[in-house]
Structure 1
Amino acid sequence: MKVGFIGTGSMGTVLIESFIRSGALQPSSVVASNRSQDKADRLAERYPGLTAARSNRQVVSSCGTVFLCVRPLSFKAVVDEIKPYVSPDQTIVSITSPVLLKHLESALPCKIAKVIPSITNNVLSGAVLCIFGDRMTEDDRHSLEWMLGMIGKPIRVSERHTRVTSDISSCGPAFLAYFVQKLVDAAVEVAGIPHDEATRLASEMVLGTGKLLNEGGFTPESLRRRVAVPGGIIEAGLELMERELDTTFVRLIQATHAKYDEDVEKVDHLFYGTIVE
């Protein structure tokens, strides 16, 4: 069975390349379309056998499962375009968090799922959040999770927790990378260490810390206690962070939620013409 991708931007490309690299899909099983045809054509050149479709209709007409990898405000136009060609036995998978299951189930007659990938899936690691519509059977869910399990760890979450779980698994890499960048910049400025050397050390630190939290039996709290000696250098640094960052992460989550709520309202308006409570 062929798997389709409508949209080959950043995350669409990550999914396609990760599925192929992991062996979950062969290039000959992939059909992809994009608003800019040259992007799909370049993927076909990179992965011989992959079909660069000339239309979204071609993708839907030839694939049992189709990933919609487009921006929230483009969803309604794409859904309207493909609706005449969607059948009840097909599965449409959204990777866009503000597009809710109810939006797609009200507009399409098929099985609906929402999957939130992460840039970490590019190295076949990290979580893949899974939210399933009522039309998905347990076999359907397991089948999709098997494929996603080749590029990360599928984790079922409630749709009402889409935003906060995405903050951690999908936005988290950017937030963590920002922290690492600032740590490196400060080390260069204060101590004069070469930037490349500081970056390499910080990158190895992040990798090792991830292994400790996933394989070493540590929680974030227990790891912090283990390395912070009372009255020591690490404790001095942690005390400063506690003072300076006291409400930063609460405000960070509040900011992402506010943007999410705004986007959901815009999508509601596109699908229903009015704001739905």
Structure 2
Amino acid sequence: MKVGFIGTGNMGSLLIESFIRSGALLPEQITASNRTSAKAARLATLHPGLQAVPSNVEAAHGKDLVFLCIKPLEFKTVIDEIKASMQPEQMIISITSPVLLARLEEWLPCKVAKVIPSITNYVLSGASLCIYGSRIEAEDQNKLETLLGQISKPLRIEEQYTRVVSDLSSCGPAFFAFLVQKFVDAAVEETGIDHQEATALASSMLLGTGRLLTEGGLSPKELQSLVSVPGGITAEALRLLDCELNDVFNRLIRTTHAKFHEDVAKVSAAFYEENMNGS
């Protein structure tokens, strides 16, 4: 299988590194391009056999799978570059949530899918969210999910839930890392504990908590009840958290959704404007 990557920024590089480290892909199977060519060249240096190419057309031409790891407003430019060279049997995979599948299918002659990865895939963990266009067949799904299964747990979702599942799976690590940071900073400020020691403790706690909620089969509510006893220290702290956090996560989800819809509108406008100018 030959795989192309257009865009080798944070997530593009993460996917490439994870696929190679897991053994899912050999460097020789990967071709990569990037707007800043030095970034793709660096990957080729780190992974002999990986081919860094100067143009997006070269990255996409003849590949079974082509991952588009680019920003939303770059899509129209990239698609215009590669669409003439794409063949019906090829599969384009966007990792950018605000770019809708219907829009991609309108402008590309090939099969189209969307995958929302997570930074947790770097340690071969977490989920990768899979959304498929109308041209995708069962064997295409199996091919992509077999590849993603080497670095994550592939989960099929409906496009209408893209934003909220991205909040939980893809943005979630940043949100909970922020909470860990605040927890650690407060512990250091209030008690003088060494910052590095507190970070190590809190990080190990988060890892263990995740395993209890997955491998351990506990629900979040069950875990709380096992740690907390009525009238105890944990119960008192949980009462404070419940009061102080209140609807903060509701507001967080409303914030991410508002930004998502703003980005969808911008991408749609870029495609629509080009269509109007060309007609």
TM bracket (short chain): over 0.9
Q: Which residue number in structure 1 is paired with residue 178 of structure 2? A: 178
Q: Which residue of 1 aligns with 2:94?
A: 94
- Alignment deviations for residues 139-179 of structure 1 (CA, whole Å, 9 cap, x no partner): 10011000000000000000000000000000000000000
Q: Which residue of the partner structure matches residue 199 of structure 1? A: 199
> Deviation string for 1:101-144 (max 9, x for gaps)?
01100000100000000000000000000000110101100110
- What is residue 62 of structure 1 aligned with on the other side? 62
CA shift, 1:273, in A, is 2.6
Q: Cα offset for 1:63?
A: 1.2
- Percent identity, aligned pairs only? 60
Q: Counterpart in 2 of 1:141? A: 141
1:255 matched to 2:266? The reply is no
Structure 2 CA distance for aligned equivalents of residues 238 and 30 of structure 1: 49
* Alignment correspondent of 1:33: 33
Whether 1:107 and 2:74 are equivalent positions in the alignment is: no
1:53-100 Cα offsets, whole Å, 9 max, x none, are 111010111312100000000001000110110110100000000001
Amino acid across the alignment from 2:202: A
In the other structure, the counterpart of 1:16 is 16
Q: Does 1:237 align with 2:240?
A: no
* 1:69 partner letter: C
Distance 1:23 1:263 in 2: 35
**For the residues of structure 2 that align with 1:51 and 1:230, how far apart are their CA atoms?**
61
How far off is 1:244 after superposition? 0.6
- Report the counterpart of residue 122 of structure 2 in structure 1: 122
The secondary structure found in structure 2 opposite 1:59 is helix
Q: Post-superposition, which runs of at least 4 consecutive aligned residues in structure 1 deviate over 6 A? A: none
1:51 match = 51
SS at match of 1:76: helix
SS in 2 for 1:67: strand
Gaps of at least 5 residues in structure 2 are 275-279
Aligned length: 274
AA aligned opposite 1:166: S
Give the 3-state SS of the residue equivalent to 2:93 in structure 1.
strand
Q: 1:3 matched to which residue of 2?
A: 3
CA distance in 2, matches of 1:115, 1:214: 22
Q: Look up the SS of the partner of 2:214 in the other structure.
A: helix
Corresponding residue for residue 277 of structure 2: none
1:264 corresponding residue in structure 2: 264
TM-score by length of 2: 0.97
> Counterpart of 2:68 in structure 1: which amino acid?
L
Match for 1:80: what amino acid?
D
Tell me, what secondary structure is at the counterpart of 1:171? helix
